[in-house]
Structure 1
Amino acid sequence: MALEDVTAESESTWSPTGFRIANIVGAALAVALAAALLIASQEYAFRVRSLPGPAFFPVIIGVAMLGLSIAWLVLALLGRYRVDADTEPPPDRSAMVRAVASLGVVTASAFAMQPLGYPLTVAIAVAILTLLARGRLRAAIPTGLGFAVVSFLLVTTVLGVQLPTGVLRPLLVGLL
C-alpha cells in the first residue's frame, strides 16, 4: 500500500470523539426540528368536527420524531455509538458542499413559492437538486418539469388543495 493510500484511508474514517460529537449534534438538531414542528402545528386545529384536522399529521410526525430524537440524543450522550469497520466514513468536502447547497435550494424555494408559484418553484428546485445529486442537465430539466406538473395536478385535483400559481396564474386560470 502506498503512503498516499494510508494517508487517504486514515483521513476518511471517524475519530471516536468526532463520531460522538457528530451524533450529539445531529440528535440535538433533530430534537430542535421536532420541537419546532410541534410548536408550529399548534396554530392549526387537531380535529375538525369528528375528522382529523390540519395539525393531525404534523403532530403525529412531530411526536414520533421527538421521541426518536430524544432516544438518539440520550444514547449519543451515553457513548453507545462506536466507530467500527461498518461505520460509513464522514462525507468529503464535495459532499458537504452539495448538502449545504441542497439545503439552500430547499430554503430558497420555500421563500420563492408565493411569488413564483408552486409549479415554477418546484420545477427549478427539483432540476437544481438533480444537478446537485450529480445528474445530467438533460435529465434534470425533464425531471423538474415532470415532477412539478404531476405533483401540482395530483394535489390540486385529487386532494383539492389550492397551491400558489404565482407568475403562471394567467396561464393556469383556464385549466383549474
Structure 2
Amino acid sequence: MKVVLIGYMASGKSTIGRYLAQEMDMSFIDLDVYIEEKEEMTITDIFKTKGEIYFRYQEHFYLKELLAATNNIVIALGGGTPCYASNMQVINNSENTYSIYLKANVHTLVERLKNQRSKRPLVAELSDEKLQEYVAKHLFERNKYYNQASSILPIDNKSITEIVTELKVQLH
C-alpha cells in the first residue's frame, strides 16, 4: 500500500507521516527531501537557480517515480504538490494508493506557522495579519485540489497520536 499525505504547509504531513510509517511498519519519504537528494540542492536553491517551472516538472517526475517504484510507503507531499501538473490525478489513479488530506483550519495553520517562520521562506517576512490573509487565500485556492483526496481527516485540536490512530483505522 502507498499512503500519500496532502495538506497545507504546517498541517503536519511530515511529522504525522513519520509516526504513521513507524506504526504501520512502512517506509517514509518526504517528497521535498527526496527531490533535494535527487537534485543535490535545496528546494530554495532550485527555485532560485532553475525556477518554479523546473521545480514543478521535477516534482511531478519524482512523484510518479515514487508511486510507480515503491510499495508499503507513506509519502508526505509539499503543500503545493497536489495543485500542479496532474498530480492529484496521478495519485488517485496510482494502483494500491490511498491519499489523505490532513485538513486544518486557517487559525490552526497560522498558529503553527508563527512558530516556524524561520524555516518557511514563503512566510518568513509576513506580519501576523498578512500571514492570516496569505494562508486563508492559499487554502481557499488549494482546497479544490486537496478535496480530491481519497479521504479527508480534520486535524484541528488533535494530538499526533489521535491523528495517527484515526489514520490507521481508515487504512485497515
TM score, norm. by length of structure 1: 0.27
| Structure showing the higher helix proportion among its residues | 1
- Structure with higher Rg: it is 1
| Structure showing the higher strand proportion among its residues | 2
TM score, norm. by length of structure 2: 0.27
Q: Which of the pair has the greater relative contact order for Cα pairs under 8 Å at 6+ separation? A: 2
